Amino acid sequence: EEDCVAGDETVRYPDGSVRLRNPNIELMDQDILYHLALGSGSHDLVEMFGDVKFVCMGGTPKRMEQFAYNIMAEIGHKLPCGTTLQDISQFSYRYSMYKVGPVLSISHGMGIPSVGILLHEVIKLMYHAKVHDPVFFRIGTCGGIGYEGGTVIISDDAVDGALRNVFELLVLGKSIQRPAKFDKRLVRELKGLADPEDPYDTVTGKTMCTYDFYEGQGRLDGAFCDFTEADKMEYLENIYKAGVVNIEMESLAFAALTHQAGIKAAVVCVTLLDRLKGDQVNHDNQRC
């Protein structure tokens, strides 16, 4: 499979556990996962997380708490009488994290810097916990390009605002670029789960990932706007012709960092609106 890195022995141990590509970590007496309020010295990470199979991330703490309860109902997971799910990362005051059996549900905040910091720490968490073959998902919201609100979009590629298929980061003042690749087999598997009876469409396509919600996504309704409506429409029509089906703000880092770690990952987003028809997101479309 051309784009399937999950079987790549250079990034995983033969038993499927996550290998860290950073030799510094093993040399430290403990590793503090600061933004998760966890650490390899302070917590038994194998005991707490060793059975994880799926790591689901989405923007907001409330939605990921709700998602954890949905998973709980789905897999028939029971909590001790009178207890509720605990936010494991509560005292980080940054991200929230819930665990339901083999599923972790974590909020990633908005944008590449936020999801990037989280991915560094969650990938290290998988390594410390000796997790085997985890699959990472981002379940998020997006703007559709030619799709009505309520459409489910599975990303088969991620590109930046200039349609480049790489995640670019300044490291020691120099630009480094990492390929942003998804596991094509996982994309097909997820698409196969769509039911023709579903009251919404499920499609696959190229996702544009931007560094801003307003100007960066060609919106006319930010605090600033130095382009015309015609300029905006020309841009959106161009990216539509290039195969872009939706725009959001995390997929590039998500694809690139999981690919780099040899972790299978997918991004599945619901459209809140069709950007070819407008800019403003109606509150009814976005509940938490």
Beta strands in 81-163 (DSSP E): 97-100, 103-107, 135-144, 152-159
Q: Is 9 left (phi over 0), alpha (psi -120 to 50) or beta?
A: alpha
Interacting positions 130-189 with ligand URA (CB under 6 A): 141-143
Residues linked to residue 32 through DSSP beta bridges, in sequence order: 39
Work out how close the CB of 226 gets to ligand URA at its nearest, in angstroms, rounded to a whole number.
19
Tell me whether residue 53 or residue 62 sits nearer to ligand URA (CB atom).
62
Work out how close the CB of 158 gets to ligand URA at its nearest, in angstroms, rounded to a whole number.
13
Work out how close the CB of 10 gets to ligand R2B at its nearest, in angstroms, rounded to a whole number.
30
| Token reading at 224 | 């600033």
Angle between helices 112-128 and 251-261 (to 10 degrees): 20
Contact 155, 258 (CB under 8 A): no
Per-residue contact string for residues 229-248; x = within reach of ligand URA by CB under 6 A: ------------------xx
Residue choice 159, 249, 256, 257 for contact with ligand URA (CB under 6 A): 249
Residues 6+ apart with CB under 8 A from 66: 288
Tell me whether residue 143 or residue 262 sits nearer to ligand URA (CB atom).
143
Residues 6+ apart with CB under 8 A from 97: 36, 64, 87, 88, 89, 104, 105, 106, 107
Tell me whether residue 256 or residue 273 sits nearer to ligand URA (CB atom).
273
Interacting positions 76-135 with ligand R2B (CB under 6 A): 110
Interacting positions 1-60 with ligand R2B (CB under 6 A): 59
Helices and strands, counts by H and E, the chain: 7, 12
Work out how close the CB of 94 gets to ligand R2B at its nearest, in angstroms, rounded to a whole number.
15
Range in contact with ligand R2B (rule: CB under 6 A) among 17-25, 78-86, 179-187, 248-256 = 248-256
Work out how close the CB of 283 gets to ligand URA at its nearest, in angstroms, rounded to a whole number.
13
Residue choice 96, 105, 107, 141 for contact with ligand R2B (CB under 6 A): 141
Tell me whether residue 52 or residue 269 sits nearer to ligand R2B (CB atom).
269
Residue choice 250, 262, 266, 267 for contact with ligand R2B (CB under 6 A): 250
CA distance 262 to 134: 10
The C-alpha R_g of the chain, in whole angstroms, comes to 19
Q: Where are the alpha helices (DSSP H) in the chain?
A: 24-27, 45-49, 61-75, 112-128, 184-191, 229-241, 251-261
Residue 117 touches ligand URA, criterion: CB under 6 A? no
Strands 202-209 and 152-159: parallel
Residue 217 touches ligand URA, criterion: CB under 6 A? yes
Positions in the binding site for ligand URA (CB under 6 A)? 141-143, 213, 217, 247-249, 272, 275, 281
Positions in the binding site for ligand R2B (CB under 6 A)? 59, 110, 140-142, 213, 248-250
